[in-house]
Structure 1
Amino acid sequence: MAGSMSKAPVRAYAPASIGNVSLGFDLLGAALKPLDGSLLGDEVEIRPATAFSLGVKGAFAHKLPTRAEDNILTQCYHHYHEKAREQGHELEPCSMLLYKNLPIGSGLGSSASSVVAALDGLNAFYGEHFNQQQMLLMMGELEGQISGSVHYDNVAPCYLGGLVLMAEQADRIALNLPVFDDWYWVACYSGIKVSTAEARRILPQQVGLADTLTFGRQLGVFVHALHSGDRKLAAAMMQDVIAEPYRKALLPGFDDARSFSMQEGALAFGISGSGPTVFAVTDNLATAEKINQWLSTHYIQNSDGFSHICQLDPQGSTANKV
């Protein structure tokens, strides 16, 4: 049967995210929302059309493949249509316009943001053919085409918002965790590129027993601390024993940035995803402002870099008619 298509254009937004959140390698992710109201995430506009087309704008558009067929959004479009066809919906074409606001290889879930905005926008445009779990499965699959394997620690928080633990069960891909509303997250992108594949290659193939036990203890205690409202205990667990000891070698100035942030009273400091973005967590806005200023001056390497004081974005992606 023909798809019931909303004729109204849709504009979708998907926030940047912190993968791993230090202690939860591949299992934790958090969505970011700058305090100043700026959009830290990609946007996709979808309109009725007689044939599919894709346009790209935005600060980092020039970093994407020049051919539309090589862009992940083209794959999102075809994948969504194919899945709809399997359910008996033959959908009309649309045009898509990507506003690429996030830098590529930044550790802020750039590809996940594009995928989530595209698929959430398509689902809203065509009349919500898929539920949340079906959408997450699609998003993970498409994101996996870029990173080489399926990981939900960026797409899940980007889509669902907040702080998310990956369950990866067929009916429950991800679980939203309680968060502390009085925590500030300073996220600083240095401006250089670190590929996810390169950042994975640098990791050891096996993890020692002591580090494995520490990883499990930290994650278990952290989740307990969130549910029981114990800020001090939660912050004490936010140390990366799996990836950071190896990946920090790819990030010029990491040790100095960590040292300054912790001396100024940060509760935690770590690498966002594969880097080079770093993040500091504090429960004091003045401390956040001081760390943000220092990172802007000392950690940023070039004109592409930026730093934002954020809180966690409780909403995740949005798709609205325009």
Structure 2
Amino acid sequence: MKKVSAYAPASIGNVSLGFDVLGAALEPIDGTSLGDEVIVEQAGAFSLTVSGPFAHKLPADPDTNIVTRCYHYFCDALVKKGVEAPVVALTLNKNLPIGSGLGSSASSIVAAFHALNVYVDSVFDEDTLLTMMGALEGQISGSIHYDNVAPCYQGGMTLMTGAPSPVTVKLPVIEDWYWVACYSGISVSTSAARDILPKTVPVPTALTFGRQLGVFVHALHAGDATMAASVMQDVIAEPYRKSLLPGFDEARAYSMTNGALAFGISGSGPTVFAVCNDKQQAQQIAGWLDANYIQNDDGFSHVCRIPAQGAVAKS
């Protein structure tokens, strides 16, 4: 019987200075699987089974699960292309916490679409799949944005173009950097985190945002790690969203005092990230965040790199 599985990694949306237009995939250096997996198998009737450490956080009704919605959206797209939609059984291994700021919904969406596409011999190209992924992500967050689905699917650090094709471009990464990601254990709704933001941005703030993003992209291409780190401040969302994150200011202060080059909120939070160019410093910061930023038993920290490859499928 035909069977395909796909793994999609966690991701950092915004990366502080790139609100809704910049994202990066994450891969723990200790080999931990920090991402969701979807398995597609031939079946006589559609079904969805959910397992994994965070399965209990999802709605009990499989019809409301985003992976089920991905399947129906994918089948509708196949029919429009004149391709017969497959009847399959899906399994979601939910390894990422909900509302964590690690691209949890994006990981499920990317794994589902990637597995389904490979199952039907890659009917859809990358940009088409990304557009589909963005549409499903928008159903959850309330607006279409690619800063999680793009790096999750493509790997690396991605910049959104705003064009139908290519949807994204890949940016160089600073190979010496370690990324400490710490999930506090609480949940922050993406839509709630968007609602807390002001509806307009002052001109000086917009100018700072544009300057920082431009300098950052230039610095990555130039391989100038010092310049890249110097502009990694969030002037759009962090001043408002940090009120949703208990202990954020203390975590930032400790990290920046102990070797971090930059510190920020991953996506909508509550996960925070610190950028370091020294592995030992990164591990020290991760240990402190474990002891002081985590709120409950669901929390965790990982020292990560940005992987060149995103979602991976196998059959």
Matched, 1:94 2:88: yes
Q: For 2:108, give the aligned amino acid.
A: S
Deviations 1:191-219 (A, max 9, x none): 00110111111111111111110000000
Map of 1:202 onto structure 2: 196
Partner Cα separation in structure 2 for residue 54 and residue 119 of structure 1:
14
Describe the SS at the equivalent of 1:12: strand
Q: For 1:39, give the aligned amino acid.
A: S
Map of 2:186 onto structure 1: 192
Deviations 1:112-157 (A, max 9, x none): 0000000000001111000000000000001111111111000000
1:92, CA displacement in angstroms? Answer: 2.5
Taking the TM superposition and a 5 Å limit, the aligned residue runs for 1:100-119 are 100-119=94-113
Q: For 1:250, give the aligned amino acid.
A: L
1:171, CA displacement in angstroms? Answer: 1.3
Map of 1:303 onto structure 2: 297
Q: Quick one: which of 73, 79, 92 aligns to 1:85?
A: 79
Equivalenced residue count is 315
Map of 2:58 onto structure 1: 64
Describe the SS at the equivalent of 1:150: coil
Partner Cα separation in structure 2 for residue 180 and residue 224 of structure 1:
12
Taking the TM superposition and a 5 Å limit, the aligned residue runs for 1:159-178 are 159-178=153-172
RMSD across aligned C-alpha pairs, in angstroms?
Answer: 0.7
Deviations 1:262-288 (A, max 9, x none): 001111000000000000000000100
Q: For 2:227, give the aligned amino acid.
A: L
Q: Quick one: which of 302, 310, 318 aligns to 2:312?
A: 318
Q: For 2:233, give the aligned amino acid.
A: Q
- Normalising by the residue count of structure 2, what TM-score does the alignment of the two structures yield? 0.99
- Normalising by the residue count of structure 1, what TM-score does the alignment of the two structures yield? 0.97
Matched, 1:249 2:223: no
Q: For 1:38, give the aligned amino acid.
A: T
Describe the SS at the equivalent of 2:161: strand
Q: For 2:259, give the aligned amino acid.
A: G
Partner Cα separation in structure 2 for residue 13 and residue 168 of structure 1:
26
Q: For 1:48, give the aligned amino acid.
A: Q
Describe the SS at the equivalent of 1:102: coil
Structure 1 runs not aligned, ≥5 long: 1-6
Q: Quick one: which of 42, 47, 51 aligns to 1:53?
A: 47
1:238, CA displacement in angstroms? Answer: 0.3
Partner Cα separation in structure 2 for residue 149 and residue 212 of structure 1:
20
Partner Cα separation in structure 1 for residue 243 and residue 65 of structure 2:
31
Describe the SS at the equivalent of 1:304: coil
1:91, CA displacement in angstroms? Answer: 2.4
Partner Cα separation in structure 1 for residue 211 and residue 162 of structure 2:
20
Structure 1 runs (4+) deviating above 6 angstroms are none
Partner Cα separation in structure 2 for residue 69 and residue 91 of structure 1:
18
Deviations 1:220-253 (A, max 9, x none): 0000000011110000010000100111111000
Partner Cα separation in structure 2 for residue 170 and residue 194 of structure 1:
30
When structure 1 is superposed on structure 2, of 86-95 and 282-291 the one drifting more is: 86-95
Deviations 1:29-52 (A, max 9, x none): 000000000100000111000111
Partner Cα separation in structure 2 for residue 75 and residue 244 of structure 1:
31
Partner Cα separation in structure 2 for residue 317 and residue 245 of structure 1:
32
Partner Cα separation in structure 1 for residue 118 and residue 74 of structure 2:
12
Structure 2 runs not aligned, ≥5 long: none
Describe the SS at the equivalent of 2:219: helix
Map of 1:14 onto structure 2: 8
1:22, CA displacement in angstroms? Answer: 0.2
Partner Cα separation in structure 2 for residue 257 and residue 237 of structure 1:
19
Partner Cα separation in structure 2 for residue 165 and residue 44 of structure 1:
26
Describe the SS at the equivalent of 1:169: coil
1:60, CA displacement in angstroms? Answer: 0.6
1:168, CA displacement in angstroms? Answer: 2.2
